[in-house]
Structure 1
């Protein structure tokens, strides 16, 4: 079995409020909050890349774990600095990990859980004893500024965990996909901007996240009564609440941070976990159920026993 040894997160300095978006879009703070639960989001400034956020979050996770080296690096992202090559080797190099195997994972908002399954698999196979998993997005760089359906939802950020050998930590990672729905969440070939079919995605996300959550619990030998916290992908508040209702979990058990950072896609779960741990909402020994749904279509879930670690959450360039 594998455990989390350290956790870190990094968000851009720039805060974009709903009121700022309302100056150029047909929307309002009230409209955005009522439909998404988002009050603001963080967007990168010109010249800041996904790898900048990834390297900062990775450094924070390593510091949280008290380590300067790992055996492998995985980066989950939808917004790599370049189409080719992957950014994981560059992130590893920036962290002083030249020579360490490094690869990207592309599963959109399910990227962190796909990457976590990769990390656990590397450790189980004996190929690595410790893995740095980073999920990072500069989603604002692929948003159509005139598309109210997406521009108000997504934010930028990065979260990272160091995964290592241990007992009673990360439960079975349950993953799935359905390529027949690939057109629902996409950046079409030859185009710049991200597109999403909101109504169809809402229905599919609630159904898939709830079902895969139950599967993950069953495979871990747990019941819903054993869950202290649900840490869902921060798609929007209505989706998170609908998943909790479908599972029969009290709203008080649902962790959320999207009011301040929006939907950070692949990064949303580790950013959420780092934020909750840093602010005392998540404590050592708590049992966490986490699930995500993203483009592909992809989905996944797992259970965590939260470790006794100090989360390192900060703003890029300000406090590390």
Structure 2
């Protein structure tokens, strides 16, 4: 439900800061040619991916999440970490079942009195976490929630499977959601089709398995209608969108979704070409790159749309306020 005009100051939210982190290790398409039966032309033609980042053996998902939070805090010195009262980390690759990645971030940044939780919604995780942060602020009990998408997918990638090893990379992105008088969250939706959940899966201590063809078909048949639903809620049209930020699973998939939405692919922000598919981190990485480049500016209308294993999808329409 959208906020009403009578709701209090504390019951609206905006994005206030952003940060990101990519590990130093890189896997190029040339590297993959030496690992498996593939080649650069085939990879680029099918996915658009040119390289992906890889965490070191010593780096865990919490290290990446903490680094992204640290980047945010360094770039926005007015943000007081001790006053952050919520941390939500979206990840499918936590360091361990417990304690949570979020609790490690809390300790590392010095958030003194802070709720800290992880959520698992695969590639829809970051948008789902933003929705939850907005809900916490709508409750009036929270004023500042740090949302992070962080993954170390290379640790669960099968480098003998040429259909999946070309896709995945590691990285983390963070945004700060704060209470605000006017608010910037305009509409949201979420839906899951568990009957297709095993099209992408990973058992404990095993590697990712994906039926890419079926996931591609599902995304093309459902994501455009999900984006239109967001716009309908806000009384807007596709042409009103300044930037469309889908999950960066595959550049060809993004182009096909844009075609079905009848929106120029030039309006799609992506992180897949340089970073591969980083699951919950793809959307914040795309946002931060566009922000640094000056393409993403305050007041612009942005549609975020995450989708992936579950089969789960989450959408969010907002005004950019950073």
Greater shift, 216-225 or 118-127, is seen at 216-225
Q: What is the CA distance between 1:168 and its match in structure 2?
A: 4.4
Q: Which residue pairs with 1:3 in the alignment?
A: 14
Q: Any conservation in 1 of the 2:270–2:283 contact (CA below 8 Å)?
A: no
Inter-partner Cα distance in structure 1 for 2:134 and 2:184: 11
Inter-partner Cα distance in structure 2 for 1:63 and 1:215: 37
Q: Any conservation in 2 of the 1:41–1:156 contact (CA below 8 Å)?
A: yes
Inter-partner Cα distance in structure 2 for 1:63 and 1:133: 16
Q: Any conservation in 2 of the 1:208–1:299 contact (CA below 8 Å)?
A: no
Q: Determine helix, strand or coil for the equivalent of 1:288.
A: strand
Does 2:48 correspond to 1:37? Answer: yes
Q: Which residue pairs with 2:107 in the alignment?
A: 93
Q: Any conservation in 2 of the 1:2–1:123 contact (CA below 8 Å)?
A: yes
Inter-partner Cα distance in structure 1 for 2:189 and 2:289: 24
Q: Which residue pairs with 1:183 in the alignment?
A: 198
Deviation track 1:45-74 (CA, whole Å, cap 9, x = no partner) reads 110010001011112223444212311100
Q: What is the CA distance between 1:22 and its match in structure 2?
A: 0.6
Consecutive unaligned residues in structure 2, runs of 5 or more: 1-11
Greater shift, 129-138 or 282-291, is seen at 282-291
Q: Any conservation in 2 of the 1:16–1:40 contact (CA below 8 Å)?
A: yes
Q: What is the CA distance between 1:263 and its match in structure 2?
A: 0.9
Q: Determine helix, strand or coil for the equivalent of 1:27.
A: coil
Does 2:67 correspond to 1:67? Answer: no
Q: Which residue pairs with 1:317 in the alignment?
A: none
Q: What is the CA distance between 1:191 and its match in structure 2?
A: 4.5
Inter-partner Cα distance in structure 2 for 1:36 and 1:83: 32
Q: Which residue pairs with 1:140 in the alignment?
A: 154
**TM-score, normalization by structure 1:** 0.93
Greater shift, 66-75 or 260-269, is seen at 66-75
Does 2:317 correspond to 1:303? Answer: yes
Structure 1 consecutive aligned stretches of length 4 or more whose deviation exceeds 3 Å: 62-65
Q: Which residue pairs with 1:126 in the alignment?
A: 140
CA RMSD across the alignment: 1.2
Aligned positions, number? 307
Q: Which residue pairs with 2:171 in the alignment?
A: 157
Q: Determine helix, strand or coil for the equivalent of 1:52.
A: helix
Q: Determine helix, strand or coil for the equivalent of 2:30.
A: helix
Q: Which residue pairs with 1:256 in the alignment?
A: 270
Q: What is the CA distance between 1:267 and its match in structure 2?
A: 0.6
Q: What is the CA distance between 1:99 and its match in structure 2?
A: 3.5
**TM-score, normalization by structure 2:** 0.92
Match of 1:55 among 63, 66, 72: 66
- The structure-2 alpha-carbon separation of the partners of 1:97 and 1:168, relative to structure 1 and needing over 3 Å to count, comes to closer
Inter-partner Cα distance in structure 2 for 1:203 and 1:171: 28
Inter-partner Cα distance in structure 2 for 1:143 and 1:229: 31
